[in-house]
Amino acid sequence: MSAAPRTAVTVRVPAKVNVQLAVGTARPDGFHDLASVFLAVSLYDEVTATATTGDGPTVSCEGPDSDQVPLDRTNLAARAAEVLAARAGITPAVHLHIAKNIPVAGGMAGGSADGAAALLACDALWGLGTPREELLEICAGLGSDVPFSLAGGAALGTGRGELLTPVETGGFHWVFAVAHGGLSTPAVFREFDRLTEGTEVPVPQASPELLAALASGDPDALAAVLPRSNGLQPAALSLRPELAETLEAGIAAGALAGLVSGSGPTTAFLVRDADAAAKVAAELEASGTCRATRVTASPAAGATVLA
Ligand SMILES: C[C@](O)(CO)[C@H](O)COP(=O)(O)OP(=O)(O)OC[C@H]1O[C@@H](n2ccc(N)nc2=O)[C@H](O)[C@@H]1O
Ligand SMILES: Nc1ncnc2c1ncn2[C@@H]1O[C@H](COP(=O)(O)OP(=O)(O)OP(=O)(O)O)[C@@H](O)[C@H]1O
C-alpha cells in the first residue's frame, strides 16, 4: 500500500554552537576561510510546509522573537522553497510556518536552521526525493551554516564553513544565555578584520586537543580548551563589551567554561550535568546579565521530518 500524499510536513531542526571557530583572512569573495567545529544542540525550531494554491511561498512565524523575523521572500525558509522548486521545475505553492525557539541574530544559526528545515519539508511535501548530496549543495548556496543545520551531530566545517566532515563527540550539557538584541554576522566579521589588520592571521586549522576532548565526552577536557577557541569572540566582545559580564556571571554560577556562540551575542556555557545546568541557568537569569536562558544537551540530530 503506498503512502497517501501529504498536505503538510513538519521538520524539527537544531541550533548550533561552534566549539571551535578558527578564522582566516578575508578571501577575494568576501568570505573568510574557517575551521569550524560545529555541535548541534537540543534547542529547536520547527518548520511546517503546507500545500497552497498560490504562486510563491508565504511565511508566518510564532515564538518569543517572531517580530524580528522577516516574513517576505528574504526569509531563508522561503528562499529554500524557491530554490528547490526552481530546480524541480515546479511552482513553490507552499506556506511555511516557523515555530521559532532559536534566538534571532544570536549566533546559533537560527535562520540557517529554518532554511534547512524548509528545504527538507518541501522535498517531502512535493515527493521529490532529492538525494542528500544535492540537498547539501542547495544548503551551501543558501548560506555557510545551512549544510550543518541539515546534517546536525558534530562536524568540522572548512571552506567558508559549508564543507562538512563528521567528527566524533560524547554527550555534553550546555546553558545558553540569550542577550538583549542581536548582532549582525557580517558586522562581526568586519570587526574581526579591523582587529586583526596588520597582524599575521594563521591559516585556520582544527585543534587536535579540542577534537580529542570532544570525542572523549570529558567536560573538563573540553572546558580547558573552550575559552580560547572562538576566533570571533574578541570581535563580538569589542562590539558588545557587556557580554564579558555575562561570561563572568556564568563562571561564577559554576559553569566549567563559557564562550560566545559563533558571531554572538548569545553566550554558551558548558556544565557538568543536568543539575548543574539548572543551577547555572537560574543564577544567570538572576544576575540580570542576559534576557533569558536555554538549557540544552549535545549532540542533537540534524533536520528531521516529524511523523
Ligand atoms: C559565524 C558563523 O555562524 C559560524 O558558524 C558562520 O560563519 C556564519 O554563517 P552564515 O550566517 O550562514 O553566513 P552567510 O549567510 O554564509 O554569510 C553572511 C556574511 O557573513 C560573512 N561571512 C560568513 C561566513 C564566512 N565563512 N565568512 C564571512 O565573512 C560575510 O560577510 C557574509 O556575507
Ligand atoms: N528564518 C529566519 N529566522 C531568523 N532570521 C532570519 C530568517 N530568515 C532570514 N533572517 C534574517 O537573518 C538575520 C540573521 O538571523 P539569524 O537568526 O539567522 O542569525 P544568526 O543565528 O546569528 O546567524 P548565524 O549564526 O548563522 O550567523 C535576521 O536578522 C533576519 O533578518
Segment (H or E) for 37: strand 32-51
* Other beta carbons less than 10 A from residue 193's beta carbon: 14
Q: What is this model's ipTM? A: 0.97
143 assigned to some structural domain: yes
2 assigned to some structural domain: no
* More confident site: 291 or 3: 291
My answer on whether 118 and 190 are in the same domain is: no
My answer on whether 163 and 16 are in the same domain is: yes
| Cα dihedral sign, 16-30-24-194 | negative
Strand partners, 297: 173
Could you tell me if the CB of 111 is within 6 A of ligand 1?
no
Catalytic residue chosen out of the listed positions 29, 145, 218, 220: 145
212 assigned to some structural domain: yes
Taking the centre of ligand 1 as the mean of its atom positions, its distance from the CA of residue 33, in whole angstroms, is 10
Give per-residue pLDDT as tens, 71-111.
999 999 999 999 999 999 999 999 999 999 999 999 999 99
Q: What is the mean predicted confidence (pLDDT) over 234-256?
A: 98
3 assigned to some structural domain: no
Q: What CATH number is attached to the domain comprising 176?
A: 3.30.70.890
Give the Cα separation of 136 and 147 in Å (integer).
Answer: 5
Closest ligand 1 atom, residue 186 Cα: 31
pLDDT on residue 4: 59
Ligand 1 pocket mutation pick from 19, 104, 158, 160 by most atoms within 8 angstroms of CB:
160
Indicate the pTM of the whole model.
Answer: 0.97
Q: What is the mean predicted confidence (pLDDT) over 47-69?
A: 96
Residue 224 pLDDT > 50, yes or no?
yes
pLDDT on residue 57: 98
Give the Cα separation of 292 and 285 in Å (integer).
Answer: 6
pLDDT on residue 6: 78
Taking the centre of ligand 2 as the mean of its atom positions, its distance from the CA of residue 5, in whole angstroms, is 32
Residue linked to cell 558534530: 154
CB 225 within 8 A of CB 209: yes
- The verdict on whether 16 is a catalytic residue reads yes
Give per-residue pLDDT as tens, 199-223.
999 999 999 999 999 999 999 999 9
Mean predicted lDDT score pLDDT of the chain: 97
pLDDT on residue 80: 98
Q: What cell does 43 get?
A: 534547542
Q: What is the mean predicted confidence (pLDDT) over 164-185?
A: 97
My answer on whether 192 and 138 are in the same domain is: no
Q: What is the mean predicted confidence (pLDDT) over 2-22?
A: 89
